[in-house]
Structure 1
Amino acid sequence: MNLILFFNGWGMDDSILKDINIPRGYILKVVNFPYNIDINKLGIYSDIIYIGWSFGCYYLTKFICENNLISNNIIAINGNSQTIGKYGIPKKMFDLTLNTLTPETLVKFYENMGAPNFTPSRDFESIKSELQYFGDNFIPLKNIFKYIYIGENDRIIPTTKQKKFCEVENIFSTILPCEHYPFNDKNILINIIKRLNHEL
Protein backbone atom coordinates (compact mmCIF):
# COMPACT_ATOMS: atom_id res chain seq x y z
CA MET A 1 0.00 0.00 0.00
CA ASN A 2 1.14 3.54 -0.79
CA LEU A 3 0.64 6.64 1.35
CA ILE A 4 -0.12 10.28 0.66
CA LEU A 5 1.08 12.17 3.74
CA PHE A 6 -0.66 15.54 3.61
CA PHE A 7 0.49 18.42 5.81
CA ASN A 8 -2.52 20.67 6.29
CA GLY A 9 -2.67 24.47 6.42
CA TRP A 10 -3.14 26.82 9.35
CA GLY A 11 -6.36 26.46 11.30
CA MET A 12 -7.56 23.54 9.20
CA ASP A 13 -8.85 20.08 10.05
CA ASP A 14 -9.42 16.84 8.14
CA SER A 15 -12.71 18.08 6.70
CA ILE A 16 -10.86 20.27 4.21
CA LEU A 17 -10.25 17.11 2.14
CA LYS A 18 -13.45 15.23 2.90
CA ASP A 19 -14.67 15.22 -0.72
CA ILE A 20 -11.32 14.67 -2.44
CA ASN A 21 -10.89 11.62 -4.65
CA ILE A 22 -8.04 9.39 -3.48
CA PRO A 23 -5.81 7.78 -6.12
CA ARG A 24 -6.19 4.03 -6.47
CA GLY A 25 -3.60 2.14 -4.47
CA TYR A 26 -3.09 4.96 -1.98
CA ILE A 27 -4.39 5.90 1.41
CA LEU A 28 -4.50 9.50 2.62
CA LYS A 29 -3.26 10.62 6.02
CA VAL A 30 -3.95 14.24 6.93
CA VAL A 31 -1.51 15.77 9.41
CA ASN A 32 -2.75 18.81 11.32
CA PHE A 33 -1.09 21.12 13.86
CA PRO A 34 0.99 20.34 15.91
CA TYR A 35 2.10 17.94 13.14
CA ASN A 36 3.14 15.06 15.36
CA ILE A 37 4.14 12.01 13.33
CA ASP A 38 5.65 8.71 14.43
CA ILE A 39 8.17 8.20 11.65
CA ASN A 40 8.59 4.55 12.64
CA LYS A 41 5.06 3.85 11.44
CA LEU A 42 5.84 5.00 7.91
CA GLY A 43 8.03 2.03 7.10
CA ILE A 44 5.06 -0.19 6.24
CA TYR A 45 4.32 1.76 3.05
CA SER A 46 5.79 0.87 -0.32
CA ASP A 47 5.85 4.47 -1.45
CA ILE A 48 5.11 7.80 0.24
CA ILE A 49 4.04 11.00 -1.48
CA TYR A 50 4.67 14.03 0.74
CA ILE A 51 2.34 16.97 0.09
CA GLY A 52 2.18 20.27 1.92
CA TRP A 53 -0.47 22.92 1.46
CA SER A 54 -0.15 26.53 2.62
CA PHE A 55 1.55 26.72 6.04
CA GLY A 56 1.75 22.94 5.93
CA CYS A 57 4.55 23.32 3.38
CA TYR A 58 6.70 24.86 6.08
CA TYR A 59 5.98 22.09 8.58
CA LEU A 60 6.57 19.45 5.92
CA THR A 61 9.97 21.03 5.27
CA LYS A 62 10.79 20.84 8.99
CA PHE A 63 9.70 17.20 9.12
CA ILE A 64 11.81 16.21 6.12
CA CYS A 65 14.89 18.08 7.34
CA GLU A 66 14.70 16.98 10.97
CA ASN A 67 14.39 13.33 9.96
CA ASN A 68 16.98 13.50 7.16
CA LEU A 69 14.54 12.04 4.67
CA ILE A 70 15.34 11.84 0.97
CA SER A 71 12.55 11.65 -1.59
CA ASN A 72 11.73 12.81 -5.10
CA ASN A 73 8.04 12.88 -4.17
CA ILE A 74 7.81 16.10 -2.17
CA ILE A 75 5.11 18.45 -3.42
CA ALA A 76 3.98 21.93 -2.34
CA ILE A 77 0.58 23.46 -3.04
CA ASN A 78 0.39 27.24 -2.58
CA GLY A 79 3.30 27.42 -0.19
CA ASN A 80 7.00 26.85 0.31
CA SER A 81 9.68 26.67 2.99
CA GLN A 82 9.74 30.46 3.43
CA THR A 83 6.12 31.18 4.29
CA ILE A 84 6.82 34.61 5.78
CA GLY A 85 8.98 37.13 3.99
CA LYS A 86 10.41 37.63 0.53
CA TYR A 87 8.78 34.56 -1.02
CA GLY A 88 5.67 34.37 1.13
CA ILE A 89 3.41 36.54 3.26
CA PRO A 90 4.90 39.97 4.00
CA LYS A 91 5.94 40.14 7.66
CA LYS A 92 3.81 43.25 8.27
CA MET A 93 0.76 41.51 6.81
CA PHE A 94 1.34 38.42 8.94
CA ASP A 95 1.64 40.52 12.10
CA LEU A 96 -1.46 42.53 11.20
CA THR A 97 -3.46 39.35 10.64
CA LEU A 98 -2.35 37.93 13.98
CA ASN A 99 -2.86 41.12 15.99
CA THR A 100 -6.33 41.82 14.60
CA LEU A 101 -7.59 38.24 14.41
CA THR A 102 -11.18 37.79 15.57
CA PRO A 103 -13.84 35.23 14.67
CA GLU A 104 -15.12 37.76 12.13
CA THR A 105 -11.75 38.39 10.47
CA LEU A 106 -11.14 34.64 10.40
CA VAL A 107 -14.27 34.24 8.29
CA LYS A 108 -12.92 36.96 6.01
CA PHE A 109 -9.66 35.03 5.74
CA TYR A 110 -11.52 31.95 4.53
CA GLU A 111 -13.27 34.11 1.95
CA ASN A 112 -9.94 35.54 0.79
CA MET A 113 -8.46 32.10 0.36
CA GLY A 114 -11.38 31.00 -1.81
CA ALA A 115 -13.20 28.80 0.69
CA PRO A 116 -16.07 30.96 1.99
CA ASN A 117 -18.14 27.97 3.11
CA PHE A 118 -15.43 26.33 5.23
CA THR A 119 -16.25 26.04 8.92
CA PRO A 120 -13.53 24.48 11.10
CA SER A 121 -14.43 22.07 13.86
CA ARG A 122 -11.80 23.69 16.08
CA ASP A 123 -12.45 26.59 18.43
CA PHE A 124 -11.23 30.07 17.61
CA GLU A 125 -8.68 30.33 20.43
CA SER A 126 -6.86 27.19 19.32
CA ILE A 127 -6.67 28.55 15.78
CA LYS A 128 -5.28 31.88 16.98
CA SER A 129 -2.77 30.13 19.27
CA GLU A 130 -1.56 28.10 16.31
CA LEU A 131 -0.89 31.26 14.31
CA GLN A 132 0.90 32.82 17.27
CA TYR A 133 3.08 29.72 17.59
CA PHE A 134 3.93 29.84 13.91
CA GLY A 135 4.98 33.48 14.10
CA ASP A 136 7.02 32.99 17.27
CA ASN A 137 8.94 30.01 15.91
CA PHE A 138 9.27 30.76 12.20
CA ILE A 139 12.71 30.78 10.61
CA PRO A 140 13.25 30.46 6.85
CA LEU A 141 14.24 26.94 5.81
CA LYS A 142 16.01 25.53 2.77
CA ASN A 143 13.97 24.30 -0.16
CA ILE A 144 13.06 20.61 -0.29
CA PHE A 145 10.32 20.70 -2.92
CA LYS A 146 10.62 19.02 -6.29
CA TYR A 147 7.36 20.40 -7.62
CA ILE A 148 5.07 23.26 -6.65
CA TYR A 149 1.47 23.90 -7.61
CA ILE A 150 0.55 27.59 -7.60
CA GLY A 151 -2.94 29.09 -7.60
CA GLU A 152 -3.20 31.75 -10.29
CA ASN A 153 -5.15 34.06 -7.95
CA ASP A 154 -3.62 33.32 -4.55
CA ARG A 155 -4.26 36.28 -2.24
CA ILE A 156 -2.81 34.62 0.87
CA ILE A 157 0.68 33.67 -0.30
CA PRO A 158 0.91 35.91 -3.37
CA THR A 159 1.15 34.11 -6.69
CA THR A 160 3.99 36.33 -7.90
CA LYS A 161 6.11 35.50 -4.85
CA GLN A 162 5.54 31.78 -5.28
CA LYS A 163 6.57 32.02 -8.93
CA LYS A 164 9.72 33.91 -7.97
CA PHE A 165 10.60 31.26 -5.39
CA CYS A 166 10.33 28.59 -8.08
CA GLU A 167 12.55 30.60 -10.42
CA VAL A 168 15.23 31.19 -7.79
CA GLU A 169 15.22 27.57 -6.57
CA ASN A 170 14.78 26.09 -10.08
CA ILE A 171 11.62 24.20 -9.14
CA PHE A 172 9.13 22.81 -11.63
CA SER A 173 5.72 24.40 -11.18
CA THR A 174 2.18 24.21 -12.49
CA ILE A 175 -0.33 27.05 -12.36
CA LEU A 176 -3.76 26.01 -11.08
CA PRO A 177 -7.02 27.83 -11.89
CA CYS A 178 -7.75 28.60 -8.24
CA GLU A 179 -7.12 30.91 -5.32
CA HIS A 180 -5.26 29.79 -2.19
CA TYR A 181 -7.77 26.99 -1.66
CA PRO A 182 -7.24 24.43 -4.48
CA PHE A 183 -9.59 21.65 -3.45
CA ASN A 184 -12.60 22.54 -5.54
CA ASP A 185 -10.79 20.27 -7.99
CA LYS A 186 -11.74 16.92 -6.47
CA ASN A 187 -9.14 15.11 -8.60
CA ILE A 188 -6.17 17.20 -7.55
CA LEU A 189 -4.45 14.32 -5.73
CA ILE A 190 -5.08 11.96 -8.64
CA ASN A 191 -3.53 14.49 -11.01
CA ILE A 192 -0.51 14.95 -8.75
CA ILE A 193 0.14 11.21 -8.82
CA LYS A 194 -0.30 11.14 -12.59
CA ARG A 195 2.24 13.93 -12.97
CA LEU A 196 4.72 12.14 -10.74
CA ASN A 197 4.25 9.06 -12.92
CA HIS A 198 4.73 11.18 -16.06
CA GLU A 199 1.16 10.54 -17.17
CA LEU A 200 0.39 14.26 -17.50
Structure 2
Amino acid sequence: MRRHWLAREGADELTLVFSGWGLGAAPFTALTGAADVLVVNDYIDLDDPLPEVAGYARLRLLAYSFGVASAAHWLARTGVRPARLVAVNGTLHPVDPQRGIPPETVAGTADGLNAENFVRFCQRAGVTEPVPAIDYHAAAAELRVIAARGAAQEIPFNRIWIADGDRIIPTAAQVLAWSEQAAVVRRIPGGHMPFRPGQSWQEWFA
Protein backbone atom coordinates (compact mmCIF):
# COMPACT_ATOMS: atom_id res chain seq x y z
CA MET A 1 0.00 0.00 0.00
CA ARG A 2 1.11 3.56 -0.65
CA ARG A 3 1.31 5.98 2.26
CA HIS A 4 0.55 9.69 2.30
CA TRP A 5 1.10 11.57 5.57
CA LEU A 6 -1.20 14.60 5.60
CA ALA A 7 -0.19 15.56 9.14
CA ARG A 8 2.39 14.12 11.51
CA GLU A 9 2.81 16.05 14.74
CA GLY A 10 3.37 13.21 17.19
CA ALA A 11 -0.12 13.03 18.65
CA ASP A 12 -1.45 10.09 20.67
CA GLU A 13 -4.22 9.43 18.13
CA LEU A 14 -3.82 8.45 14.48
CA THR A 15 -6.50 9.07 11.89
CA LEU A 16 -5.98 6.31 9.30
CA VAL A 17 -7.75 6.64 5.97
CA PHE A 18 -8.25 3.94 3.34
CA SER A 19 -8.88 6.06 0.25
CA GLY A 20 -10.80 5.21 -2.90
CA TRP A 21 -9.41 3.77 -6.11
CA GLY A 22 -7.38 6.18 -8.20
CA LEU A 23 -7.82 9.22 -5.95
CA GLY A 24 -4.99 8.87 -3.44
CA ALA A 25 -4.91 11.48 -0.70
CA ALA A 26 -6.47 14.25 -2.81
CA PRO A 27 -10.03 14.10 -1.36
CA PHE A 28 -8.74 14.61 2.19
CA THR A 29 -6.07 17.28 1.97
CA ALA A 30 -8.35 20.15 3.02
CA LEU A 31 -10.00 18.47 6.03
CA THR A 32 -9.02 19.94 9.37
CA GLY A 33 -8.71 19.15 13.04
CA ALA A 34 -6.49 16.07 13.26
CA ALA A 35 -2.83 16.19 14.30
CA ASP A 36 -1.73 12.93 12.69
CA VAL A 37 -3.39 11.70 9.48
CA LEU A 38 -2.13 8.83 7.34
CA VAL A 39 -3.89 8.07 4.03
CA VAL A 40 -3.24 4.77 2.28
CA ASN A 41 -4.24 3.50 -1.15
CA ASP A 42 -3.24 0.89 -3.74
CA TYR A 43 -4.88 -2.34 -2.61
CA ILE A 44 -3.08 -4.90 -4.75
CA ASP A 45 -1.32 -6.21 -1.62
CA LEU A 46 -3.11 -6.03 1.73
CA ASP A 47 -0.46 -7.95 3.69
CA ASP A 48 1.31 -4.72 4.67
CA PRO A 49 0.90 -4.48 8.48
CA LEU A 50 1.32 -0.67 8.45
CA PRO A 51 3.76 -0.68 11.37
CA GLU A 52 3.23 3.07 11.80
CA VAL A 53 -0.10 2.28 13.45
CA ALA A 54 1.55 0.53 16.40
CA GLY A 55 3.09 3.75 17.64
CA TYR A 56 -0.24 5.30 18.62
CA ALA A 57 -2.31 4.94 21.76
CA ARG A 58 -5.56 5.33 19.81
CA LEU A 59 -6.55 4.64 16.21
CA ARG A 60 -9.60 5.73 14.30
CA LEU A 61 -10.15 4.56 10.73
CA LEU A 62 -12.16 6.09 7.91
CA ALA A 63 -12.66 3.94 4.81
CA TYR A 64 -13.91 5.45 1.56
CA SER A 65 -15.31 3.85 -1.61
CA PHE A 66 -13.27 0.74 -2.56
CA GLY A 67 -11.25 1.44 0.56
CA VAL A 68 -14.16 0.12 2.64
CA ALA A 69 -13.81 -3.51 1.59
CA SER A 70 -10.03 -3.17 1.45
CA ALA A 71 -9.91 -1.85 5.02
CA ALA A 72 -12.12 -4.70 6.22
CA HIS A 73 -9.87 -7.28 4.55
CA TRP A 74 -6.82 -5.58 6.09
CA LEU A 75 -8.36 -5.50 9.57
CA ALA A 76 -9.18 -9.20 9.34
CA ARG A 77 -5.62 -10.02 8.34
CA THR A 78 -3.86 -7.85 10.89
CA GLY A 79 -6.17 -8.07 13.88
CA VAL A 80 -6.03 -4.27 14.31
CA ARG A 81 -9.09 -2.92 16.13
CA PRO A 82 -9.74 0.81 15.69
CA ALA A 83 -11.46 2.72 18.46
CA ARG A 84 -13.84 4.09 15.83
CA LEU A 85 -14.54 2.72 12.35
CA VAL A 86 -16.35 4.72 9.67
CA ALA A 87 -17.38 3.90 6.09
CA VAL A 88 -18.12 6.52 3.45
CA ASN A 89 -19.77 5.66 0.12
CA GLY A 90 -18.52 2.11 -0.08
CA THR A 91 -19.58 -1.42 0.79
CA LEU A 92 -18.05 -4.72 1.85
CA HIS A 93 -19.05 -6.03 -1.60
CA PRO A 94 -17.07 -3.75 -3.92
CA VAL A 95 -17.72 -5.66 -7.14
CA ASP A 96 -21.23 -7.04 -6.92
CA PRO A 97 -24.34 -6.75 -9.12
CA GLN A 98 -26.63 -5.78 -6.22
CA ARG A 99 -24.43 -4.49 -3.39
CA GLY A 100 -21.58 -2.73 -5.15
CA ILE A 101 -20.48 -1.86 -8.68
CA PRO A 102 -21.61 -4.42 -11.28
CA PRO A 103 -18.75 -6.71 -12.36
CA GLU A 104 -19.13 -5.81 -16.03
CA THR A 105 -18.71 -2.13 -15.19
CA VAL A 106 -15.51 -2.74 -13.27
CA ALA A 107 -14.15 -5.03 -16.00
CA GLY A 108 -14.98 -2.46 -18.68
CA THR A 109 -13.28 0.29 -16.68
CA ALA A 110 -10.13 -1.81 -16.26
CA ASP A 111 -10.02 -2.89 -19.90
CA GLY A 112 -10.55 0.60 -21.31
CA LEU A 113 -8.67 2.68 -18.76
CA ASN A 114 -6.90 5.66 -20.26
CA ALA A 115 -6.57 9.39 -19.59
CA GLU A 116 -9.91 10.28 -21.16
CA ASN A 117 -11.86 7.58 -19.33
CA PHE A 118 -10.22 8.40 -16.01
CA VAL A 119 -11.21 12.05 -16.36
CA ARG A 120 -14.77 10.89 -17.03
CA PHE A 121 -14.68 8.71 -13.90
CA CYS A 122 -13.47 11.64 -11.80
CA GLN A 123 -16.22 13.86 -13.16
CA ARG A 124 -18.86 11.26 -12.29
CA ALA A 125 -17.36 10.93 -8.83
CA GLY A 126 -17.62 14.69 -8.29
CA VAL A 127 -13.91 15.44 -8.13
CA THR A 128 -13.53 19.20 -8.56
CA GLU A 129 -9.78 19.45 -8.03
CA PRO A 130 -7.28 18.62 -10.79
CA VAL A 131 -7.49 14.96 -11.76
CA PRO A 132 -4.85 12.90 -9.90
CA ALA A 133 -1.95 11.55 -11.92
CA ILE A 134 -2.04 7.76 -11.99
CA ASP A 135 -0.32 4.85 -13.68
CA TYR A 136 -3.17 3.52 -15.85
CA HIS A 137 -1.70 0.03 -16.22
CA ALA A 138 -1.23 -0.32 -12.45
CA ALA A 139 -4.66 1.16 -11.69
CA ALA A 140 -6.34 -1.30 -14.07
CA ALA A 141 -4.46 -4.17 -12.43
CA GLU A 142 -5.63 -2.96 -9.03
CA LEU A 143 -9.27 -3.03 -10.16
CA ARG A 144 -8.87 -6.62 -11.32
CA VAL A 145 -7.29 -7.63 -7.99
CA ILE A 146 -10.08 -5.97 -6.00
CA ALA A 147 -12.68 -7.80 -8.11
CA ALA A 148 -10.91 -11.14 -7.71
CA ARG A 149 -10.47 -10.66 -3.94
CA GLY A 150 -14.22 -10.36 -3.52
CA ALA A 151 -16.32 -9.36 -0.56
CA ALA A 152 -14.96 -8.79 2.92
CA GLN A 153 -16.46 -10.41 5.97
CA GLU A 154 -19.14 -8.47 7.81
CA ILE A 155 -17.70 -6.32 10.58
CA PRO A 156 -19.48 -3.68 12.68
CA PHE A 157 -18.98 -0.03 11.80
CA ASN A 158 -19.65 2.85 14.17
CA ARG A 159 -20.94 5.07 11.37
CA ILE A 160 -21.81 4.51 7.72
CA TRP A 161 -22.34 7.48 5.42
CA ILE A 162 -24.27 7.08 2.15
CA ALA A 163 -24.62 9.91 -0.36
CA ASP A 164 -28.01 10.39 -1.97
CA GLY A 165 -26.58 10.97 -5.45
CA ASP A 166 -23.69 8.52 -5.74
CA ARG A 167 -23.03 7.79 -9.43
CA ILE A 168 -20.10 5.43 -8.83
CA ILE A 169 -21.37 2.97 -6.22
CA PRO A 170 -25.13 3.36 -6.64
CA THR A 171 -26.92 4.66 -3.57
CA ALA A 172 -29.50 1.86 -3.70
CA ALA A 173 -26.71 -0.73 -3.76
CA GLN A 174 -25.15 0.79 -0.67
CA VAL A 175 -28.47 0.85 1.20
CA LEU A 176 -28.99 -2.84 0.42
CA ALA A 177 -25.42 -3.75 1.33
CA TRP A 178 -25.69 -2.13 4.76
CA SER A 179 -29.20 -3.37 5.60
CA GLU A 180 -27.91 -5.33 8.61
CA GLN A 181 -26.22 -2.22 10.00
CA ALA A 182 -28.97 0.24 9.12
CA ALA A 183 -29.01 1.67 12.65
CA VAL A 184 -25.66 3.41 12.11
CA VAL A 185 -26.33 4.57 8.53
CA ARG A 186 -26.67 8.28 7.89
CA ARG A 187 -27.68 9.73 4.53
CA ILE A 188 -25.95 12.83 3.20
CA PRO A 189 -26.56 15.00 0.12
CA GLY A 190 -24.12 15.00 -2.76
CA GLY A 191 -22.26 12.52 -4.90
CA HIS A 192 -19.55 9.92 -4.54
CA MET A 193 -16.86 12.37 -3.40
CA PRO A 194 -18.55 14.16 -0.48
CA PHE A 195 -15.53 15.68 1.27
CA ARG A 196 -15.31 19.46 1.18
CA PRO A 197 -12.56 21.94 2.11
CA GLY A 198 -12.90 23.21 5.63
CA GLN A 199 -14.79 20.21 6.96
CA SER A 200 -13.42 18.78 10.17
CA TRP A 201 -12.42 15.18 10.54
CA GLN A 202 -14.69 15.03 13.57
CA GLU A 203 -17.75 15.55 11.33
CA TRP A 204 -17.02 12.25 9.63
CA PHE A 205 -16.30 10.39 12.86
CA ALA A 206 -19.47 11.67 14.58
So what's the TM-score if we normalise by structure 2? 0.83
Does the CA contact (< 8 Å) of 2:65 and 2:89 recur in 1?
yes
For 1:112, the aligned partner's letter is R
For 2:38, the aligned partner's letter is K
1:116-167 residue CA offsets vs partner (Å, 9 max, x unmatched): 43321333323222223223x3221222223211111001111111112222
Does the CA contact (< 8 Å) of 2:107 and 2:144 recur in 1?
no
1:19 aligns with 2:33: no
For 1:28, the aligned partner's letter is V
For 1:152, the aligned partner's letter is D
CA distance in 1, matches of 2:161, 2:178: 10
Does the CA contact (< 8 Å) of 2:59 and 2:83 recur in 1?
no
5 Å-filtered alignment, 1:14-163, equals: 14-23=25-34, 26-34=35-43, 37-85=48-96, 86-135=98-147, 137-144=148-155, 145-163=157-175
Does the CA contact (< 8 Å) of 2:89 and 2:192 recur in 1?
yes
CA distance in 2, matches of 1:127, 1:112: 17
Does the CA contact (< 8 Å) of 1:146 and 1:171 recur in 2?
no
Cα distance, 1:77–1:12 mapped onto 2, change above 3 Å: same
Unpaired stretches in structure 2, ≥5 consecutive residues? 1-11
Does the CA contact (< 8 Å) of 2:113 and 2:136 recur in 1?
no
Does the CA contact (< 8 Å) of 1:6 and 1:52 recur in 2?
yes
For 1:62, the aligned partner's letter is H
CA distance in 1, matches of 2:183, 2:48: 27
- The count of corresponding residues between Structure 1 and Structure 2 is 191
| Matching residue of 1:198 | none
What's the CA shift for 1:39?
Answer: 4.3
Does the CA contact (< 8 Å) of 1:8 and 1:56 recur in 2?
yes
1:186 aligns with 2:195: no
CA distance in 1, matches of 2:86, 2:132: 24
| Matching residue of 1:8 | 19
Does the CA contact (< 8 Å) of 2:110 and 2:141 recur in 1?
no
Does the CA contact (< 8 Å) of 1:80 and 1:143 recur in 2?
no
Does the CA contact (< 8 Å) of 1:58 and 1:83 recur in 2?
yes
Runs of 4+ deviating beyond 6 Å:
none
Instruction: Indicate the SS of the match to 2:15.
Output: strand
Instruction: Indicate the SS of the match to 2:106.
Output: helix
Instruction: Indicate the SS of the match to 1:180.
Output: coil
Unpaired stretches in structure 1, ≥5 consecutive residues? 196-200
Identity of aligned residues (%): 23
